[in-house]
Amino acid sequence: MFKVTKPALTLFVAGGICAALAACSSSNSSSAPAASTTSASAAASAASASAAASAASSAPAADAIPAADCTIIKQVSSSAITTLTTMQAESKAKASADMTTYLSQLAADKAKLTSAKGKSVLSAWIADVQKATTQSTADATTTITGGLGALASACP
């Protein structure tokens, strides 16, 4: 299983990445912390990524993700910010344990999907979350906001 290093987790969770994510989600905007320059920049990047993903999502209906898969993907997308934000306020040990649990839950959600496209979308999100835990705060912010934009736009 994926191992989260304490320094990387600290950068990822305590470094303000969750604040940047909260600025990008209209469904969780009421719980978003005050925006900083970094958050505003990340939000602008995420908006660009989301617009590009929306343009790409106008692909033929044959590539559409089934409704049952979309239900799962939308749930993962809508809970991602809250899940990551909660970890921000936790101790390193608790955040590390919760990250392991979150990644296990994502793997279980992926196993429930029936379409290759749906599995691909969720696999990409899992890879982004794992990658972000080993990156600098700036790089992790870019990785997560881009991944969240792609996840959110997978199912219109």
Residue 61's pLDDT is: 59
In a domain, 20, yes or no: yes
Token pair belonging to 27: 């469904």
**Is 1 part of a structural domain of the chain?**
no
Q: How many CB atoms lie within 10 A of CB 115?
A: 16
Residue 103 lies in a domain: yes
Integer Cα distance of 27 and 113 in angstroms:
23
Domain count of the fold of the chain: 1
pLDDT of amino acid 54: 44
Q: What is the pTM assigned to this prediction?
A: 0.64
Q: Determine the pLDDT at residue 53.
A: 45
Range of the domain at 48: 6-153
Which residue shows structure tokens 């040990």?
A: 93
pLDDT means per 10 residues, the chain with 156 residues, are 41 41 37 32 40 44 85 96 87 92 97 96 96 90 93 91
pLDDT for 49 equals 45
Cα–Cα distance, 31 to 54 (Å, whole number): 25
- Given a contact cutoff of 8 angstroms between Cβ atoms, the answer to whether 61 and 115 are in contact is no
